[in-house]
Structures are given as structure tokens and as C-alpha cells.
Structure 1
Amino acid sequence: MANSCTQTPTLQSNSTKMNRFMDKLMAKIFCFYDEQSLIDVTFKFTNSTAVIPAHRLILAAASPYFENLFNGEQGNRPVIEINDIGSDIFERLIAFCYTGQTLITVNNVGAMVKAAMVLQLDDAITICVDYLMSHIDEYTLQGAYTLERETQCEFLKQKIFEYETQNFMKISQSNEFLNFDVEKMQRLLESDNLNIAREKDAYDAIKRWFNFDVPARQEQLPLLITCLRLIQFDADFLLTHIHPLPGCELLTFKALLWCCKPEARTKINLRFTEPRGISGTNCDDKTILALCSSINPKLLQYNKAEDKWQEYASIKYKYRWYETVLKDDDLLFIGGNKKGESVNIVSSWNIRNKTWKNLPAMNQARDEHCVVELDGKIYAIGGSEGNNTLSSVERYTTSEGWKFVNSLIIGRFQASAVSLNSKIYIIGGYNVDIYQKSIECYNPDSNTWTSCAKMTGFHTDPITAAHKGHIYVLSNKDNNCLVERYNPQQDTWSKICSLEVSGDLLASVSLGNKLWAIGGISAGKICVSVYDEENDQWRQKCSLPQIDFYSCLVVPEALLASK
């Protein structure tokens, strides 16, 4: 019996060798499939003479459907009959199990989605749905609605919703729109991403839907009107159009009072008091928000148009050595230290409303750690607790809270971390008092950390940023900021132009297709520099007005527009 694989294979320490090994392995598997060599199972079909040979191990690894099938009563039979999928579609999906690719057409994509769901091939479902939505004009939206009802495919439902919000003006004029149920209408109208030029467009869509069946929809109308950003309308529109609607008199009064009596707003209960388009996922125009000071930080906003910094807000926060990350409209403060004690608290500060709320605490108290966001999940990595260097890593989701994932290969604090290409990279830092030049890469799909090529330079307190598919590492040494760049595809490092500043560099971000370096002192001021990639040189921007700079992050400008 093979030994249990409880440790990371030695081969993974060199990603280039690992890639070569996997390429050779997959090439041989493809040959076995093409030549029908070492076949150990054959599928036949009720209404077809076709037979499809395959390898149990490959299919079981690709899909839990096949794993359960082969472990069941008929799993050992050399020939297995398939009743609910046509032979042509089944053969295409078997090929997908080997290659990760398959031939999709407008004519077969519906059947492919249905079969992929039966066979529990999630990646095939994703590819098929993406194809369908990119060919929606040929497949038709009505066909997509029908397929979603028949399959109850959540990914298709999500993609249809994204299409509806992006194409709302077109959708609202269709016949299908008139038959939307109230739950679907509510979900669309609540969205900050609804693609409309003005709030009246959403109102007009509600009226069209309502007038299609007034008796049945009269009680539901106020629910949809509450989804409008009512304070975007002037008093005349509210009185002329909203007030006469059945059940909307009180809503009109609240909206009018909000607009006319700002001092009373804290007592007025309105669902939406900001314009659409505030959500971070809905805005391409971004800027830098800098935290000055660790305890009770002041927030400074960078004004790109005027190349200057201006105060945005002051925050009362009593901890230090915490980490921050942007999650939707909230700035999350994670971990930290108070009076020499590490803490596990997590607090959320809403950038629009400037209000606090508490989130579930981490399982591990930690400071001087790393925090990154990847695919909507927040990761807290390493750090220290008292005199202990931590290797533990935990992940936060709104549904499950904080859960431990696999630990780092080497525990470290004062490291730096970034997410890139659906993976997380942690760089440098200290283990006890030993500086680490090593890098580790986390793959959430396999829940594993692997070692990457070490940095060539000596970077204490490294600052990192993911930019144009590379990872940049910056740190100060002898009044000169060293910069090197990591290529994750080739697992190699290269040096670029140094940044001539003294003192510690404090942050680096990717903004406007440029790499920005913030921190370091020149002529007594905190520098802000932008990397000119074409000429391999740094150019100075407006300096920061405060010397006690702590960290910074990139945020949508629309988040700050409500100040």
C-alpha cells in the first residue's frame, strides 16, 4: 500500500521541474486515451450503438460523480450503461476530463450544461456558461432563462444576473421583463451595479412592470419603490410621481424630509441614501487612501487631477501593528497589539458612512502579520504573538467566519504578501531573529504552500505590489531603495532601477497602470514616486504632507465622493 502523502513532495520545491514533470505526465495520459491503451472501463448508451472507452482513475479524479460511480455496486463492471446523456455529449465531456477542453457550439451548449451538471464537472459548467453568455444573442436570453429554470444552475443564474444589470435598459424593454417575479425585480433594483444613466430609468422600468398586471402587483409596488435611490429625485418628482403610487405616501414623506432637513437624517429610515455606482466592484476610477499614524489614524485622499493630498477623515482606533484590507465598501482592521498584547479582533470601518462594526474575531491573536484578499476571501498570514513567531494561516468568509488553512512552510513576521493570478505570495520577513529571503506561494485549490526562488537582494521590511503580472519588492538600504521584480511564470528575479530616497519605504501600489512607491524621504518630505517602465526610472509626484505615515490602499474614487 502506498504511503500517505502528509508532506509536500520534494519535487514541488522547484516549480520549473514540477511543471516539466506534469507536462510529461499529462502528455502520456493523452497518448493512452488516444490509443485506447490500458482502458479499464467502457460506456454504452441505451439508444445508441456508440461505445466510449476510458480510464477509471482519470474520470474519478476529474469528477465526484465518477468517483462515487466506480465505488458503487456497478463500479467494477467492465461496461457501464448511461441512460440520461447522449453519446456525443458524453464523449465531449469525457475528453474534457483528460484535456480540460471541449468543443462547444450554440446548438449543443444547453445539453452540455445539463450533462456537466449530472457528471459534476464544475469546470466544464463554467466554460459552457461563459460560452453561452458570450453568444447570448445567438442562444437568446429566453433560452438562457429556460435553461436556468431546468437546471437550477447557480453559476448560470449569477451570470444571467450580471448580464441583466449590465444591460438593464435593454432588458427592461423586453417581454421577458414583464414576467419577472417580484424577488427578481427587487434583486436587480437593489444592485449598486445597475447600469442606468439616471435613477428615473429604474423608476420607468418599475412602472412598466407594474402596469402589466396592476391588480396582482399593487401590494408589491412599495417594496420595489424602496429600492430606488429616492433622494436622487427632486421634491417635484417625488410629489408628482412617487406620492400618488399606492402605498408610497410615507416613502415620499421620508425622502422629502431627508432632503429638506439634514439635521433629522439620523431619525429617518431610508434603505438607500447614496447614489448607485458607489460599490468598489463597480468603479474603474481609483485613487490612493493613506493612513497617517497607527493609533487614531488620519486618512488622506490623493487627488489625481490636482496632484495633491487632502484630508478625508479621522479614525479613532486604539491599536497598533494591525493590518488593513479593503472589502467592498469597508476598511477592515485585522489583529494588532495593545499595551504589548497581541489581539485577534477584527473591526470594519465603512468608508461611505464612517461607522464601525465588529466582525468575528480570528482564531489566533497576531500582530506584524500579513493580510490579503483573494477571490472575496480574506487571509491572515503568520505574524507574531508575544515572543512566538507564527506560521498559522486563517481565512475569513462571511458564511463561515475564520477557518484555519494549511500553515506556512516557515513561520514569519514583518513579511509582505500579495495576491496574483489566483494565488498568494508571502515574501521575506523574520523567523525569530533570522531574516528570510525565501518566498512561499499558496494555492487555494490544493490548500498547499510551495517554495519559490529566493530574492537576490537583502530586503528588510519588504514592501510589495502586484503589477502587470509581476511582483515588485522594494526596501531601503544605505539611503537607496532597492527594487527587484519577480516573474511567477518563470520563477525568476530581475533587478530594476533603484529609488533614491532615504528612510523607510512605506507602501507600494498599482494604480492607473503604473507602479507607485510611497515613502522614503527626500528634501525632508515623504516621497511619492511613479515608475517609468519604458525608461527604467522613477518620477516624483506630490509628496505626502505628514511624516507619520503608516500604510495605504487603492480605493474607488466613488467611495470617497460622498464626503
Structure 2
Amino acid sequence: MSFLLRLCALAAAAATPIPAAELPSLPDAVTSFGGVISQGRLYTYGGHLAGAHSWSLETTSGKLRALDLQQPTTWVDLPGGPPVQSPGLTEAAGKIYLVGGMQPQNEKGKPAVLKSLDHALVFDPATKSWTDLPKLPEARSSHDIAVLDGKLYAVGGWPLDTSKDAPEKEADDRHHVRTFHNTSLVLDLANPSSGWQSFPQPFERRALAVVANSGKLYAIGGMDAKNELSNAVDVYDVASKSWSKIQDLPAEGKVKSFAVAACALDGRVIASPRGGKIFALSSDNTWSEVAKLSGSRFFHQLEPWNHSVIALGGTTGDKPLNTVEIVTIPAPAKTAGKAD
């Protein structure tokens, strides 16, 4: 083999991502956290470190961590921020955006006092520093965020404050009603001083996933104000500023698509509800099962990487997980056509 061929082979090997099995586990078992990939690094922020319905400030993380996906040997701690769970986390132009989330106000072992937050911040990995953005018009948690065409969107969620409300009810109490957000928000990242602008959303759901793909926002699953669990998928067309509905995500079980994780991969929306099945949305707005995780999880994160998805954290229903796995997503089958 010539020197030039050997050099090309070495370069190709260096550019090949590390096999999935070598991705390290999360430093902490965590659920209800934020996750995003930016410039080849996988970031996590915040989350819940205790069992289900066991809330306290001590068991809520404010840590920002990163894993280099080209050389994924160790998670690195970066400057953190406010302890928070169920925040919105996304990226744009190499910067990490954190919006809202829920923060317990009580000490460990004390009755839960849960409060949504109105903060919005941006982290610059180049300077390793956080900068404040305009605050939300109203506190918001259990929502999701996405960036599309240079604008930051916050969709769904609720303004939770149990110090002013009745105690948290179990999910099977169908008569309990809370206030949920019925508007979405948008912030122009080219002119953030203009502040957040609101626009109507034709649903009220929390614990949903929001994905930006091909000029549209996809709001998937969640729970409504009457604690009804949902497989619904609402789509916002940014160009026409209009909402529409498409086929429900075919998640199975009584939880449906509550606390679903989703992302955009190779031009398709990919969703991972509890149960382990992974679904892809086709061009005709129908869902099909394309892969499966090794086990069931929800309240997790799903991130796109090298024609695969990385599933991390979450819970099977009680305790948080620290496991990380990657699953290859097959490309859509090509439609047979006539020969030229």
C-alpha cells in the first residue's frame, strides 16, 4: 500500500465514530433531564436523581456535562447552573440553550413544594460561560424547546406552583385539573432583546417531545390537564403559522406517549415512547416501527448520531437509569419506480 493510501486509511479510521458499546454510562442515574448534541459533543443538563415522586432540592441536579462522541472516554463537568428538572435544552450555532424547568423548593424528607421557573440562559462552550436571555413571560416546565430558522420555540408545559395549588395528584385521578399553557413562545435569537412572543397552540399538554424538522415543529404525546395520557401529534408549520394534526404515535400500554423522547435524524422524526419500540415518521405522515431499544424507558433523552439514535437516562418506572445505548435506524425503503 502506498504512503498516500495508508494516510487516507488512517484519516478515515480517525473519523469513524467509536462503537456504541464503548459509550460510557452517565455519571449519575437521572431522569427528567435535558439532552442535546452540538458539534460532536453530547450534553446533559440537570434532572431528577431520586425515585418517582420523591422530590427535593438536594435530589435535583444543576450539572452540565459533555461527552466527546469522537473520543467518548469520559464525561466532563462544565460550569453548571440552577438545579432543575424537566427543563428545555437545545442548541443552535454551537451554543446550548436552557429554558424553564421545575425546581423543588423543599428539603429532602419534607413535603414537596414544586415550582416552575421562568429563566432562559445560553451556554457558550468556547468561553465556558452562561449568559441570561430574556425571561419567559410566565414560568414553564414539563415543556420542550427547539430551534428552527434561527428562532427558539417553547411548546407545551405548565406553570406549576404547588405552594399556591392543591398537592400533586396521582395520574389515575381523572377529575383533577391544573392550569396548562395554551400558548407557545418564540424568541428571535438574532434579536433576543425583542423578547418572547406568544402564539396560540390548539392543545394543552405537558411531558411531550418537540422536534424541529423540515420547517415544522412536531409536538408529540404527553398528558393533558385532566391527566389523560396522549399519543397525539400536532404539527406547526412555521411558514404558514398554522397547526394541523397527523396520525397519532402508535405507542402501546396505558402510559401511551407520556414522557416520550424524540429527535430528527436524516430528515425524519424519530420517537421513542415507553416500551422500547422506536418509530419513524414517513413522508406521508404515518408512523412505522423501525428499531427497538434493549429495554423500556421513558423520561429519557433521544439524540441523533451517525444514522443512529442515542438513548440515555430516564426510568423504567421507579428509579432513574444511568445507562446509555445506541441503536442504528435503517434508512427508509426506496419506492420502486419505472426504469428510464
Do the structures match in fold with TM over 0.5? Answer: yes
Which string of whole-angstrom CA distances, capped at 9 and with x for unpartnered residues, describes residues 208-252 of structure 1? xxxxxxxxxxxxxxxxxxxxxxxxxxxxxxxxxxxxxxxxxxxxx
Name whichever structure is richer in helix by fraction. 1
**1:147-226 pair list within 5 angstroms:** none
The amino acid across from 2:217 in the alignment is I
How far apart are the structure 1 equivalents of 2:94 and 2:266?
25
**1:170-319 pair list within 5 angstroms:** 286-291=40-45, 293=47, 295-319=60-84
How far apart are the structure 2 equivalents of 1:435 and 1:357?
36
Which string of whole-angstrom CA distances, capped at 9 and with x for unpartnered residues, describes residues 265-313 of structure 1? xxxxxxxxxxxxxxxxxxx951212235454433333233444232131
For the Cα contact (< 8 Å) 1:296–1:314, is it kept in 2? no
**Structure 1 residue 341: Cα displacement:** 2.6
How far apart are the structure 2 equivalents of 1:531 and 1:312?
26
The amino acid across from 1:529 in the alignment is E
Matched, 1:365 2:139: yes
Which string of whole-angstrom CA distances, capped at 9 and with x for unpartnered residues, describes residues 128-156 of structure 1? xxxxxxxxxxxxxxxxxxxxxxxxxxxxx
How far apart are the structure 1 equivalents of 2:331 and 2:115?
47
For the Cα contact (< 8 Å) 2:303–2:309, is it kept in 1? yes
2:97 corresponds to: 332
Which of these residues, 437, 456, 463, is aligned with residue 231 of structure 2?
437
Larger RCO: 1 or 2 (CA < 8 Å, sep 6+): 2
For the Cα contact (< 8 Å) 1:297–1:315, is it kept in 2? yes
Which of these residues, 417, 421, 438, is aligned with residue 210 of structure 2?
417
**Where does the alignment leave 5 or more consecutive residues of structure 1 unmatched?**
1-283, 537-563
Matched, 1:450 2:244: yes
Which of these residues, 314, 320, 324, is aligned with residue 528 of structure 1?
324
How far apart are the structure 2 equivalents of 1:285 and 1:333?
17
**Where does the alignment leave 5 or more consecutive residues of structure 2 unmatched?**
1-37, 49-59, 106-113, 161-177, 333-340
The amino acid across from 1:485 in the alignment is A
**1:14-25 pair list within 5 angstroms:** none
How far apart are the structure 1 equivalents of 2:229 and 2:196?
29
**Structure 1 residue 437: Cα displacement:** 1.2
For the Cα contact (< 8 Å) 1:321–1:367, is it kept in 2? yes
How far apart are the structure 2 equivalents of 1:535 and 1:355?
38
2:273 corresponds to: 475
What TM-score, normalized by structure 1, do the two folds share? 0.41
Distance 1:310 1:365, change over 3 A: closer
Distance 1:511 1:426, change over 3 A: same
Which of these residues, 307, 312, 327, is aligned with residue 518 of structure 1?
312
| Count of residues in correspondence between the two structures | 247
SS of match in other structure, 2:298: strand
Name whichever structure is richer in strand by fraction. 2
Question: Which of these two proteins has the greater Rg computed from alpha carbons?
Answer: 1
**Structure 1 residue 463: Cα displacement:** 0.5
Matched, 1:391 2:145: no
Which string of whole-angstrom CA distances, capped at 9 and with x for unpartnered residues, describes residues 350-383 of structure 1? 2222223221112232111111100010011120
1:353 corresponds to: 127
